[in-house]
Chain A
Amino acid sequence: MIGLPAYLILGALVFSIGLFGVLTRRNAVGILLGIELMLNAVNINLVAFARFNGDVAGLVFTLFTISITVAEVAVGLAIVIAIFRVRRTVEADRLDLLRG
């Protein structure tokens, strides 16, 4: 039988991979894909906990995070399109998330 820890470690791996993508990607869409992976890890966690705790709230939580993510992606990509429309360039290097 596969226990709860296996699912949680799978989630932690996906979360860390997503974080790696967020930290290293230059392109805004690439960063967004990393964020998607991180949120995916959240859903794995929630469903695993809900299943092993025998509780429905986690499943509801998953539905909400999935819907919110979709909304977020739509807004984010619209901003990306707006940027390309203004700049008409692929140069996304100036976007440094870690510079204040």
Chain B
Amino acid sequence: MSAFTLELGLGAVMVLVFGGSLTSRGADRRWIAWLATAGILTLGIVSALVKPTPPALSGMFVLDGLAIFAKRLFLAATFIGLLAGIGADAVACGRRAGEYHLLILSSLLGMLVLASARDLILLFVAFELMSIPLYVLAGFLKGQDEAVEAALKFFLVGSVSSAVMAYGLSFVYGAARTTDLARVAQAFAPGQPLLLLGLLAVFAGFAFKIAAFPFHMWVPDTYEAASTPFVAWLSVAPKAAGFVALFRVYFEGMGDRVATWVPIAAGLAAITIVAGNLMALPQQNAKRLLAYSGIAHIGYMLVGFAAASASGTAMVLFYLVAYVFGNMGAFLVVEAVARSERSEATAALRGLAQRSPLLALAMLLFLLSLGGIPFVAGFWAKLYVFWAAAAAGLYWLVLLGAVLTVVALFYYLIVAKRMYIEAPDASAGRIRLPGTLALAVILCALVVVGLGLYPKPIVMAALRVAAPLF
């Protein structure tokens, strides 16, 4: 198999979707959504067979363990996101189904390349290919005031962060005299302030993209205004891609001088955890609540990044897996309730246990996982990240994270209380949801429970792929 198997396969799926959207007529274009979903499923199966290959394109493009791990995760998240969009979602299945899916797939293409990019130019182009479709998708409900406004905000903040990142990359290139990340490490001699300046600006650009505090301003508005299956995907896949790129630039590109970044990353992790959790507390809209809690989770992952070790990186990868499925699952339950309720307030979840016991149970699992309660995936994720940080000597950060976890439990459990203890409105009947959405929720729940009961395989795989970076 070539190093580009998955990218070429995705290109083929995109051509199929493009051709399909040119030939289809009428308002119901559900089959395009099915086509894209089936294509991603096929690619997911292919990705299980992909083996690491030697670097291609004179070292620019690597298909190592980290890249394969990340690509499988992106494909899984995209599959669930697309699956959930089929069915009742007018956005994914209406007249503009072709555009919607092409945009998602091209953003995914950017992510796949990003996971493999070991060249600054390729990295930047892949990053932009990932980001630009997201701006359009955020405003896909273009008849709605809030949606286009959120898209504009997302676009402006994203473009500024791209500019800052590009400015940083220009200094990295100037100081290292190469765009090859493998050789940047060698150029990082003491007394090279340009490289430091460049990597600092690049870090600020990354912080925007993964939505760390104080670069998170676009998140809540965008999440609230866009269609939920897309938001579920947006809240996880680009963040995961951003982290993988962070690993590439800062661990692969930094060599053994990585310790320079520990204070910066640790500080960013601390304020992100505090700000995300505290701002989540007063939220009454379920999507805004999940937006702020997602910011806090980015902070927890930055804790593992700040550890700057092989085990820290591996634990962030494990955290990403737990976060992808837990967070997507929670968004999809909100979507399921919103479809029958026409409301995304947390109040709409009232009495969910009586209206749909299974949906309530799934939501409870996701909330427990996000909160970090034992025997669901999120518990191990938090434990491992803290463990790696403690091993790196960041005890204060571990303590801070643990305290804020209790705060987070508070707002997660309030939602659980609404579902299980409060009574539903008298008029509210049982919730009916489309089979595809139910399947997506069940898949997420299975992963969250499975990883909680038996995390070993993923942990071992993450440790294996992270080791060569150091």
Contact = CB atoms under 8 A, between A and B. Distances in A.
Interface in B176-200: 177-179
Contact of A38 (B124, B139, B167, B217): B167
B255 interface: no
Contacts of A68: 124-125, 128, 162
Contacts of A94: 149
Contact of A42 (B142, B163, B216): B163
A46 B169 CA distance: 9
Interface string A61-100: 1001100100110011001101100110000001101111
A18 B164 CA distance: 11
Given A28-B152, A86-B142, A57 B174 contact: no
B166 A72 contact: no
A28 B157 CA distance: 11
Chain B contact patch, size range = 35 or more
A50 to B, nearest CB: 8
Contact of A75 (B135, B166, B173): B135
A28 B152 CA distance: 8
Contact of B121 (A39, A60, A97): A60
Given A46-B173, A75-B135, A82 B120 contact: no
B130 interface: no
A76 B156 contact: yes
Given A76-B156, A82-B139, A100-B219, A57 B179 contact: yes
A39 to B, nearest CB: 5
Contacts, number: 116
A32 interface: yes
A89 B125 CA distance: 35
B156 A100 contact: no
Give the secondary structure class of B's interface. Answer: helix
Nearest to A78: B136
B149 A95 contact: yes
B153 interface: yes
A65 B169 CA distance: 11
Given A32-B159, A60-B121, A61-B120, A97 B148 contact: no
- Scoring A15, A71, A72, A87 by chain B CB atoms within 10 A of each residue's CB, the highest score goes to A72
B174 A86 contact: no
Nearest to B295: A100
A64 B124 contact: yes
Contacts of A48: 174
Given A75-B136, A83-B148, A99-B217, A64 B156 contact: no
Given A32-B156, A53-B177, A83-B152, A65 B132 contact: no
Contacts of B139: 79, 82
Contact of A61 (B162, B163, B179): B179
B159 A76 contact: yes
A60 B145 CA distance: 40
Contacts of B151: 79, 82
B163 A82 contact: no
B216 A45 contact: no
Contacts of B167: 15, 38, 41-42, 45
B458 interface: no
Given A28-B152, A61-B179, A86 B132 contact: no
Contacts of B128: 68, 71-72
A79 B135 contact: yes
Nearest to B120: A61
- Scoring A18, A71, A95 by chain B CB atoms within 10 A of each residue's CB, the highest score goes to A95
A87 B178 CA distance: 48
Contacts of A58: 170, 173-174
A95 B120 contact: no
Interface string B112-128: 00000000110011001
Contacts of A99: 217
15 contacts: A32-B159, A46-B174, A49-B170, A53-B174, A58-B170, A58-B173, A61-B120, A61-B169, A61-B173, A64-B124, A75-B135, A79-B155, A86-B144, A97-B217, A100-B279
When A and B form their complex, which 10 residue pairs have the shortest distance between CB atoms, in order from nearest? A49-B174, A45-B170, A38-B163, A42-B166, A57-B179, A83-B148, A82-B148, A46-B170, A53-B177, A35-B159
Given A82-B151, A83-B148, 20 more contacts: A28-B152, A32-B159, A35-B160, A42-B166, A45-B174, A46-B173, A49-B173, A53-B174, A61-B173, A65-B124, A68-B162, A75-B132, A75-B136, A76-B155, A76-B156, A86-B142, A86-B145, A87-B145, A97-B153, A97-B217
Interface of B: 120-121, 124-125, 128, 132, 135-136, 139, 142-145, 148-149, 151-153, 155-157, 159-160, 162-164, 166-167, 169-171, 173-174, 177-179, 216-217, 219-220, 279
